[in-house]
Chains A and B, each alone.
Chain A
Amino acid sequence: GIQVEQSPPDLILQEGANSTLRCNFSDSVNNLQWFHQNPWGQLINLFYIPSGTKQNGRLSATTVATERYSLLYISSSQTTDSGVYFCAEIKAAGNKLTFGGGTRVLVKP
């Protein structure tokens, strides 16, 4: 089956720092999403990015489907960026989101 692996599992940042989160997947995908889960459990959509590069404010993401990985960049991190970041993918012939284990980010003031 498809496996989704995220690294690092935990990340502590000083406010203002930049960081890169990685998501590796084991099969060809039709859908790759990045989410931010806030302390109350809400999953907030960040990017829908099966391939290519997208940017939204201080966040950007790149998926290289042929090499089966996606990267999420956080620039000039803020304390409100704290939380857990998940990537999730759906294989080309499926409809089930398979989630990675998440990267827990703590941004210190």
Chain B
Amino acid sequence: ETGVTQTPRHLVMGMTNKKSLKCEQHLGHNAMYWYKQSAKKPLELMFVYNFKEQTENNSVPSRFSPECPNSSHLFLHLHTLQPEDSALYLCASSQGLAGGYEQYFGPGTRLTVT
């Protein structure tokens, strides 16, 4: 498998559920990112990891908990979400962290919170 993959592609969960989103990159990159795309809003960065270490948390509520066990895998653990958290969650990776590196995106997980 090549590029950036995400599972599941679709997820419906209740507000009391706990679920996890998974991202895997097969590009040998060192940096990974979570983005959120809500309806009628620009894509917004959530978290940045570089060599497994979190380097940025863009004021994301604690009901979203990221985990990066190695440079190839990134998880987003979800618990007690709200309906307004329904969105497309996109994972990306890049060779390095500095702005000069191109970012590549996965296909996204479309999340619906009921």
Binding site for B on A (CB under 8 A): 4, 29-31, 33, 35, 40-43, 45, 48, 50, 86, 88, 90-97, 99-102
B29-47 Cβ-contact flags toward A at 8 Å (1 or 0): 0010101010000111100
Q: Is B60 an interface residue (CB 8 A)?
A: no
Cα(A32)–Cα(B104), bound, Å: 13
Q: How far is the CA of A88 from the CA of B94 in the complex (A)?
A: 14
B61 within 8 A of A: no
Prevailing SS type, chain B contact patch: strand
Look across to chain A and name the residue whose beta carbon is closest to the beta carbon of B96: A95
- Ordered nearest first, which 3 A-B pairs have the shortest CB separation? A30-B99, A90-B99, A43-B105
Interface size class of B (residues with CB under 8 A): 20 to 34
Asked whether B99 lies within 8 Å of A92 as measured between CB atoms, the reply is yes
A-B contact pairs, 17 of them (CB 8 A): A30-B98, A30-B100, A31-B101, A31-B102, A41-B90, A41-B107, A41-B108, A41-B110, A43-B105, A50-B100, A91-B99, A95-B48, A95-B55, A95-B56, A95-B98, A96-B56, A99-B42
